[in-house]
């Protein structure tokens, strides 16, 4: 492809893939149906391969089309970021930083305080913070849709990215005060699996980690309850209905009020090392570099992995 396609054609193509119809995409984009079909044909000619399969009921992307769509979304995200940053400069600002972080990074550590401190130091820089899972964060960094990411996964960082240590936390088994495990200082994960659990969609990546750990033991977690928030999970645990696994920093503020007990899970994977991730070569000078330095060099307001609550 000697010259990149224009933004209108990219948006038209992505809309057609989303709706499964070039005609519907043309209508949504305010383009004549014949002109839209011509744009898709020219796009395929530029790509030198078919990007969609045409059927009586519409279209579906080919393998090449799915790949093209993935890169097209990245280009549009970059264009949107460029527009946002220029808007910030036009309004008297100094640019934006796209920061992605997991739920436990935001809710269980001092990230909010650090961002508040950064805002005081650099009031003209806008930090665009979004909460995602570690896997999605890494993919967005690879495809250029973010400047920085904070992840909780212990997995290997993909090629093209580099990571620096940021914080640590410890996974605890959370039980009610009258639970049979409440008096324990530590517990093996196999013992946790003997009890009903509550699954929290808010931190779905943690559920995947627990599923993998259970599979290694030839077991499967029994989730009696499925909730969307940590607060709901804490309430169910406090009522003695289930056991939950969560990072120590996300239970400490609530343990006393709800009568909860946190028990160390005696497994190597229960210690999680949170990392600040960027693309290989380091963060480019400018707003992103200022934020990275601030996050890495500011002293932590917590004492690291805490003892059982």
DSSP-based three-state secondary structure for 122: coil
Query: Where does CATH 3.40.190.290 sit in the chain?
Result: 168-271
Q: What is the pLDDT of residue 85?
A: 64
> Mind listing the pLDDT tens digit for each residue in 12-25?
999 999 999 999 99
Task: Read off the tokens for 169.
Answer: 């936390």
Q: At 280, is the pLDDT very low, low, confident or very high (cuts 50, 70, 90)?
A: confident
Q: What is the pLDDT of residue 307?
A: 46
Q: What is the pLDDT of residue 87?
A: 64
pLDDT exceeds cutoff 90 at 166? yes
Query: Where does CATH 1.10.10.10 sit in the chain?
Result: 7-75
Lowest mean pLDDT among 88-92, 152-156, 245-249: 88-92
Q: What is the mean pLDDT of residues 242-270?
A: 90
pLDDT exceeds cutoff 70 at 213? yes
DSSP-based three-state secondary structure for 202: helix
pLDDT exceeds cutoff 90 at 156? no
pLDDT exceeds cutoff 70 at 219? yes
Q: What is the mean pLDDT of residues 131-160?
A: 89
Contacts of 80 (CB under 8 A, 6+ apart): none
Query: Where does CATH 3.40.190.10 sit in the chain?
Result: 77-167+273-297
Q: What is the pLDDT of residue 303?
A: 44
User: May I ask the CATH architecture of the domain 7-75?
Assistant: Orthogonal Bundle (1.10)
Q: What is the mean pLDDT of residues 91-100?
A: 76
Cβ atoms of 125 and 96 closer than 8 Å? yes
Contacts of 63 (CB under 8 A, 6+ apart): none
CATH topology of domain 168-271: D-Maltodextrin-Binding Protein; domain 2 (3.40.190)
Q: What is the pLDDT of residue 90?
A: 60
Alpha-helical runs (H) found in 143-284:
189-192, 204-216, 230-238, 252-258
Q: What is the pLDDT of residue 305?
A: 45
How far is Cα 128 from Cα 266, in angstroms, rounded to an integer?
Answer: 37
pLDDT exceeds cutoff 90 at 293? yes
pLDDT exceeds cutoff 60 at 261? yes
CATH topology of domain 77-167+273-297: D-Maltodextrin-Binding Protein; domain 2 (3.40.190)
Q: At 118, is the pLDDT very low, low, confident or very high (cuts 50, 70, 90)?
A: very high
pLDDT exceeds cutoff 60 at 302? no
How far is Cα 158 from Cα 162, in angstroms, rounded to an integer?
Answer: 8
Q: What is the pLDDT of residue 204?
A: 67
How far is Cα 77 from Cα 242, in angstroms, rounded to an integer?
Answer: 42
> Mind listing the pLDDT tens digit for each residue in 170-184?
999 999 999 999 999
């Amino acid at each position: 492809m000697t010259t990149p396609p224009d933004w209108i054609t990219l948006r038209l193509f992505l809309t057609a893939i989303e709706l499964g119809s070039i005609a519907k995409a043309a209508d949504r984009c305010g383009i004549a149906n014949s002109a839209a079909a011509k744009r898709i044909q020219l796009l395929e000619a530029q790509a030198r391969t078919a990007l969609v399969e045409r059927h009586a009921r519409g279209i579906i992307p080919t393998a090449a089309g799915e790949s093209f769509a993935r890169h097209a979304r990245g280009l549009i995200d970059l264009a949107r970021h460029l527009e946002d940053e220029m808007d910030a400069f036009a309004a008297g600002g100094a640019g934006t930083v796209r920061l992605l972080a997991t739920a436990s990074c935001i809710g269980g550590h001092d990230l909010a305080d650090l961002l508040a401190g950064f805002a005081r130091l650099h009031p003209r820089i806008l930090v665009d913070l979004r909460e995602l899972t570690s896997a999605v964060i890494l993919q967005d960094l690879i495809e250029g849709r973010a400047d920085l990411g904070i992840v909780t996964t212990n997995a290997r960082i993909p090629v093209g990215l580099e990571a620096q240590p940021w914080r640590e936390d410890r996974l605890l088994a959370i039980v009610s005060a009258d639970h049979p495990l409440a008096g324990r200082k530590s517990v093996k994960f196999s013992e946790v699996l003997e009890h009903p659990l509550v699954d929290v969609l808010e931190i779905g990546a943690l559920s995947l980690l627990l599923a993998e750990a259970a599979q290694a033991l030839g077991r499967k977690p029994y989730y009696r309850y499925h909730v969307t928030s940590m607060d709901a999970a804490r309430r169910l645990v406090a009522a003695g209905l289930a056991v939950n696994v969560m990072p120590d920093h996300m239970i400490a503020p609530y343990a006393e009020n709800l009568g909860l007990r946190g028990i160390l899970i005696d497994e190597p994977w229960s210690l999680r090392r949170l990392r600040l991730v960027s693309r290989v070569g380091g963060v480019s000078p400018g707003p992103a570099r200022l934020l990275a330095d601030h996050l890495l060099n500011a002293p932590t307001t917590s004492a690291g992995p805490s003892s059982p609550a």
